């Protein structure tokens, strides 16, 4: 698969059903790892292509499945290292998003309690 085709297409698991899916996916992962390793990290346009490969790989490939397929790219050391960094950034972003959602729910709960307390105080004041 050429680099141009690779950057335009997703993993075969999204396209090819059947018994060959696992082999096709393994080949797709290996192609991405090999292409990443061939490009030099310090050359401008090659650095951009490496970044595009990581972006596309992370967009199409679920983080949860990488562990079972990590042997397919074990020989691609910088790809695995950079992918691990990217996945850890994704995990940290998910955790931060979860934390923000919890905080928003807590603030909504406090606002609800505050309005309930204010309503109760108004009723008590009106009764007195």
Average pLDDT over residues 118-125: 84
pLDDT at 17 (0 to 100): 45
Q: Do residues 45 and 57 lie in contact, with contact meaning Cβ atoms separated by under 8 Å?
A: no
pLDDT at 124 (0 to 100): 83
pTM: 0.56
Give the integer Cα–Cα distance in Å for 125 and 86: 58
> Could you report the per-residue pLDDT of 54-109, keeping only the tens digit for each?
888 887 777 777 777 777 777 888 888 888 888 888 888 889 999 999 999 998 88
Burial of 76 (0-12, 13-18, 19+ CB in 10 A): buried
> Could you report the per-residue pLDDT of 5-22, keeping only the tens digit for each?
666 666 655 444 444 555
């Amino acid at each position: 698969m050429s680099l141009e085709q690779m950057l335009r297409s997703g993993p075969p698991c999204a396209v090819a059903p059947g018994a060959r899916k696992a082999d096709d996916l393994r080949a797709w992962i290996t192609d991405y790892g090999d292409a990443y390793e061939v490009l030099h990290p310090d050359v401008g346009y090659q650095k951009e292509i490496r970044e595009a490969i990581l972006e596309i790989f992370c967009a199409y490939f679920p983080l949860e499945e990488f562990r079972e397929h990590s042997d397919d790219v074990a020989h691609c050391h910088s790809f695995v290292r950079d992918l691990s960094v990217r996945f850890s950034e994704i995990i940290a972003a998910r955790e931060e998003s979860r934390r923000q959602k919890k905080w928003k729910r807590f603030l909504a709960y406090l606002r609800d309690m505050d309005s309930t307390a204010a309503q109760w105080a108004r009723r008590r004041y009106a009764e007195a």
